[in-house]
Amino acid sequence: MNIEEKNEPSDDELLQEYRKLLEDETNRDILFILNETDSLSAGDIVKQLNISANSGMMHILELKKAGLVEKTINPPNYNIDKEIFALVKEQFNDLF
């Protein structure tokens, strides 16, 4: 019996998910802000973008779920892996 893993998205599915996320200007802005800093709190991110806390958290959590943003515990900040960000920018250069 051949059982497929439903938890493991294909490479094409991942690329489609990343493209969808990166087509959103706010998501790109969050990634650029985090790329320029070591880490920021959600509050600092939304202040820099001048958006509501609810909207900012929705975007941050979408990026976190996709693995593009990580959360540190102490202090509770968000950051990105700059190497991964560079690869994402290269893959989707038409969006940047």
Tell me, what's the pLDDT at 96?
A: 76
pLDDT beneath 50: ranges in the chain: 1
Tell me, what's the pLDDT at 35?
A: 92
Tell me, what's the pLDDT at 23?
A: 94
Tell me, what's the pLDDT at 4?
A: 52
Burial letters 16-54, b for 16+ CB under 10 A, else e: ebbeebbeeebbbebbebbeeeeebebeebbeebebeee
Q: Is residue 1 part of a domain?
A: no
Q: Is residue 6 part of a domain?
A: no
Q: Is residue 7 part of a domain?
A: no
Q: What is the DSSP string of 65-81?
A: HTTSSEE-SSS--EE--
Q: Is residue 34 part of a domain?
A: yes
Give the total residue count for the chain: 96
Tell me, what's the pLDDT at 39?
A: 92
Q: Is residue 4 part of a domain?
A: no
How many structural domains are present in the chain?
A: 1
Distance (Å, rounded) from C-alpha 20 to C-alpha 59? 12
Q: Is residue 5 part of a domain?
A: no
Q: Find the domain containing 32 and state its range.
A: 12-95
Tell me, what's the pLDDT at 1?
A: 47
Q: Is residue 3 part of a domain?
A: no
Q: Is residue 72 part of a domain?
A: yes
